[in-house]
Every structure is written in C-alpha cells, then in structure tokens.
Structure 1
Amino acid sequence: MNKASYSRYCTSCSHSKFDPYRGVICGLVNDYPDFKEDCDKLSIDRPALEKIYDEKLSGYGFSKHGRTKTVIDSNYSCTVIPFKPVEESLPVKPSANSVQIGKSKIIFLFYLLVPILILLFTLPMFFIAPLEPLIVIIDLFMIIALTVIVYEYKDKSNSLNINAKGILYKKAIVPWHSILGAVLRESRQHNKAELILITASKADIIIDLVGLEGVPFRLEYAIIFHQARARIKAILSK
C-alpha cells in the first residue's frame, strides 16, 4: 500500500491523527502504519463519525432528516447515495464481478472522428502542394490531436473500480469503512458531474465523472450493491 492508500484506509480510525508534515499517521506508533492489506487494530468510533457526516452533509445543503433527497440550487443538484456504513475493515480481495466505470467509447470515437475527417480532407492537398505551410501545420496539429486523444482514452487514472473492498480511484483503494457517505453533484449548466466520497478527514474525495460511461445511474446502483455486499460480509465475518 502507498501513502494515499494508508491515508484513505486510516482516516476513519480513532487511532489516526494528522501530522502537518506527514499527513495522516497512526497514533499508536506515531508514524505511518506498516500493515500490508488490513489492520487488526482498526477502531471505528461510529457516533463521532456520524456527527462529522451530518456536519459535512449540511455543507452540501442537506439537513439531517433529508439525506435521501436531492438538493437543487441555481448551480448544482446534489443527491445522497443511501447506504449504511460498514463497521469494520474487510480482509477481502476485489471480486471478479466488480464494476469498472471508464471513459465513454462514444465520446472517444466522436473526438477521434473530427481530426480524422480533417486529415482525410487535407492530405490530398498536401500531395498536391507539399510545401504549403498552412496544410503542413494543419496536418501536424491533427496528428498531435489524435495522439493526445488516444493517450487520454488509454489513461485509466480517472476510471473507477467499485468492488467488495471499496472504490479504487487513482491506483489507491478507498475502503468502505472509510466512506461515511456519498453524494452525486451535477451541473448541466457548467457540464460538471462529480462523485463526492465523504470521509472523516478534513477534505472529502471529489472524483470528476465527466466523460465516464454510464454515470450517474450505473454508478449509483454499483455503489449501493457492492457496499451492501461489504456490509453483509462484515456481519457474516463476526
């Protein structure tokens, strides 16, 4: 596990504390934890976390008794994804039936089509007038644009993998026991869509969903389903 994974794993533990120079550390050893997958000393103070969750929800416009409602203002609509918190860390591996939410193939093909059509239109001109500066510049720009588009599509850093362990984002897992709640925030006016993972740390994890395939509905049901699976596993493991 890297530092980001440790931070996300330990943020809801009552033993964790924040160091201004090192970030989230373990208060038991006053250093970074050294476990590989799961910590047997994890201690979750659920009432304290509930208080943090209520305070953070109010920051997104929700009241304590309106968690499952959608809040709409002039800029954003926010919807709480309803689930009950998992009480402990689960020593499970990401399952084979996890949900992978990646970049939209349709949007990728659309962006790909534009420079290809321009190239098909300008390449014959290049052979007719090979030294025409404008044609050379346009063709080079389109080739660079194609390279960037393919590279961005192949880059999986913004994709999500939702499984029984938690949510894998930017190569670090956010385990279910660290997620106090989740909010979908959308703005059609500004073409924005975000998944906000509410945690016990000062800053929540905000995931940009623009360009990802099958959101928000596929994302919402995937989170509810796999979080429920994790909660059942936690009950059965006792």
Structure 2
Amino acid sequence: MSFLTVTELDLVAYVKLNRPDVRNAFNPEMIHEITQTFHSFNHRHDLRAVVLQGEGKSFCAGADLNWMKEMVNFTFHQNREDSLKLFMMFEAIAKCALPVIGMVHGAAFGGALGLIAACDEVVAEEGTQFCFSEVKLGIAPAVISAFVARKTVPGKVRPLMLSAVVFNPHIAQQAGLINEVVPAGEGHTAVQKIIHNYKQCGSEAVRETKKLLNDIDRLSWEQLRDRTSTLIAERRASSEGQEGLKAFLEKREPSWRN
C-alpha cells in the first residue's frame, strides 16, 4: 500500500501525501516511502523540480496517532532508531538534488513543520494553521529543529517552538518558515509561477547551487575559497555554462528555454 501519490508533468514531479483520512499524518511506512522517493529524484536529470503537497483538507498533521501510541512502549534505543529514520526523511528532502517546493494548506502541525523547513521554497494558503505542538505533549521538536533552525529567524521562531501556540501563515512568513502567502485555493497557481522561474535557469546550475548552499555552513573559510572558485570555473567551462554565457552575449534565449 502506498501512502504517496507521485505524478510527473512538464518536467516536474508532484509528490502528494495521501492519507487524507488522518490529515496525512505520517507513520513509519510513510516515512520510509517519502525517504526513498526523494532519494530516487537524485538520479533524475530529466526533472527540473519537485512539488510536495497534501491530499484532502490539510497538508500534514505530523505524527500518526497509532504510531504515537506505539512510542509510549518503546525503549530508549527503539525511540532513537525511530527518530533517526525521521531525521533521514527530512534530510532526503533537504538534500534532494532538485529544488523542492512546498504547497501548504489547511494545517501543518508538529513534524509537518520539518517537511516545510526541508523544502527550498514554500507557498502557504491563507487560513492555514501552523503549530510546533511537541512541548504540549511533554516532548520536544528535536528532530525538526536542525532543519527549522537553518531556515528561520531565531528570534521569531524560538517563542513559537517553546510555547506551542497556533500561528497563521503571515507569522510563519515573518519567521522565515514559508516564503509566500496566497489566497485560499490559489496555491497551485503560485507554485506554477515558481516552477516557471526555475525553468528559466540552467538545470545543472540550479543543482550545483543547491548543493553548495547545503554545504556552505560546514565549510571552513579555506574550504569555501577552494570550493567556490572551483565551482565557478567548472560552471564557466561546462556546456551549459558556455551556452548560457553565449546566449547572453548574443542576445538570444539559451537552449533550455526552448
């Protein structure tokens, strides 16, 4: 049984969380499926972007209730192994070679905010409710914190994580969790505009830029000097870089826009 619906259209993969009866809450099987699906995109040079969205009335409610019931009886080691798999799911999205666009509606609670934080760009519809709900349950937003922290404004998101208050898309945007707020029902239109922007760019250049941005925080100054100068030299000499530069100088469209 699949918990995802994956479709492809016009060089874009659409990944839809498909457990609407439980507001797309994830369980271990769904976590594994999401992880494997996003790993598979790393080998797809024919695709330009991935859209992550939810079926039904909500984007995602976080952890599944039955899964949470099982956690109560887990040992420390079982909990740690379980949490590592959750981390690897978020990591698979964050490190996906393709740009990942999140389209959020309805509600995004708990671990769902980890999915959002792992995306490169996120559109949320008006009326969506957000909540770092973990502390209300006596646990912590621990696994998602690594992904949330690298994307958000610390002073804005800290009280939201500590208080577990429900907040709206505009607060989420101020915190840096999402990029754009659109009227209800217009998320798809906004996502198509974002996809259009990506398609204007060289696909290899986008992939290499994302890889650099993912690595930049862990590199020393000397490593940055070497990595960045090497990357720009490689891109200038690449067939895509040559085509892009020539197209600019010749005042024509590069081949990937045709």
TM-score w.r.t. length of structure 2? 0.23
Structure whose residues are more often helix by fraction: 2
Higher relative contact order (CA 8 A, sep 6+): 1
TM-score w.r.t. length of structure 1? 0.24
Structure whose residues are more often strand by fraction: 1
